[in-house]
Amino acid sequence: MKDFKNFKTYKKPKKNYSIIKRKIFLNLLLVLILIIFSYGIYQVLHILKNAQESKLRYVYLKGNKILESSYLIHSLGITNNTKLNSHLKLDVYNKLTKNPFIANAKIAIIKPDTLYIDINEKTPLCILEVNNKQLLFSNDGQYITDNIDPKKIKVDKILHIKMANLTPQINNKKVVLELVNLYKKLDKLEKISYIIMEDNKFGVNLKNGIMVTANMFNCDYDKSVERLETIWPKLLPDADKIENVSICYPDRIIIKWKTKETKSGR
């Protein structure tokens, strides 16, 4: 016969909360130990990684034909204690590409201690000198900067052109390119003193006193200067009598002779 509980006299056994608390404590302690252990492993790996990172000893720089190497290295702010890592590559790249003379750059780390830098400069076309200022233009006629420091840039390798003035046309890339083209052609014929810009024309003042006038646009400088070369020897004896030579006509050259009033200064 089955036994039945006497609900009147039956008492429910009490839970042992001390055991439960102990289990919770042990679980929390285990979690804390795992966290500390994981953090310890992270720190060890971080230390090992830093220990494996090489420190900079050499910089190999190429591609700079105009910019001085010493200036470039100094501008990067790197020393022998600099660590060779991806952060350094990004930092060097950002600093170089902010330079107005640099079009692009490639950075690489050569283990164990060398930083490799290959830069692509904006090829300079000319420096226009006007009113004690120097304006640098690239080979596509684009203005680069007027902040030209001989300690940073090899200015002696760039064509210098003295200008009496500059007009808004100088903002046109084609005008800059035509200016340099005309300068190079006439400078072979006779050394140039300075150039004036006026009414869409270039006035090229030669050192012998003759001014050669050429249109900024729609002028074939090759044919015009070649035509001038054929008569140039005949003009030289009378250079002091010539006021202006216009060369951009289709089939002729127009010579304007000085008047008596011009010669006497009246």
Per-residue pLDDT tens digits for 108-121: 998 888 999 999 99
List the strands of the sheet with 102-110, edge to edge: 58-62, 114-121, 102-110
Distance CA 208, CA 186 (A): 13
Per-residue pLDDT for 249 more than 60? yes
For the segment 23-53, what is each residue's pLDDT rounded down to a tens digit? 777 778 788 888 888 888 877 666 555 545 6
Mean pLDDT of 79-101: 89
CATH class of 124-264: alpha beta
Give the number of other CB atoms < 10 A from CB of residue 207. 10
Q: Tokens representing 126?
A: 């000319």
Angle between helix 221-235 and 173-189 (nearest 10)? 30
CA pair distance 243, 98, nearest whole angstrom: 48
pTM (2 d.p.): 0.70
Which one is predicted more confidently, 98 or 6?
Answer: 98
* Peptide linkage before 112 cis (omega within 30 of 0): yes
Q: Among 13-22, 53-62, 179-188, which range has the highest average pLDDT?
A: 179-188
- Compute CA distances 136 → 3, 81, 101, 132, 145, whole Å: 110, 36, 10, 13, 6
pLDDT score recorded for residue 195: 97
> At which residue do the structure tokens 């760039």 appear?
158
Name the token pair of 133. 């200022």
93 CB burial (10 A radius; 0-12, 13-18, 19+): middle
**What is the rounded average pLDDT of the residues 153-179?**
94
> Of 215, 125, 200, 202, which is closest to residue 168 (Cα–Cα)?
200
The answer on pLDDT for 13 being more than 70 is: no
Average pLDDT over the chain, rounded to an integer: 86
Mean pLDDT of the region 142-159 = 90
Give residue-wise pLDDT tens across range 191-209: 999 999 998 999 999 999 9
Give the pLDDT score at 16: 59
Q: What is the pLDDT of residues 209-219, one digit of tens each?
A: 999 999 999 99
- What letter would DSSP give residue 209? S
Tens-place pLDDT, residues 69-82: 999 999 998 887 78
Task: For the chain, give every domain's residue range.
Answer: 58-121, 124-264
Looking at CATH, the fold of the domain delimited by 58-121 is given as: Ubiquitin-like (UB roll) (3.10.20)
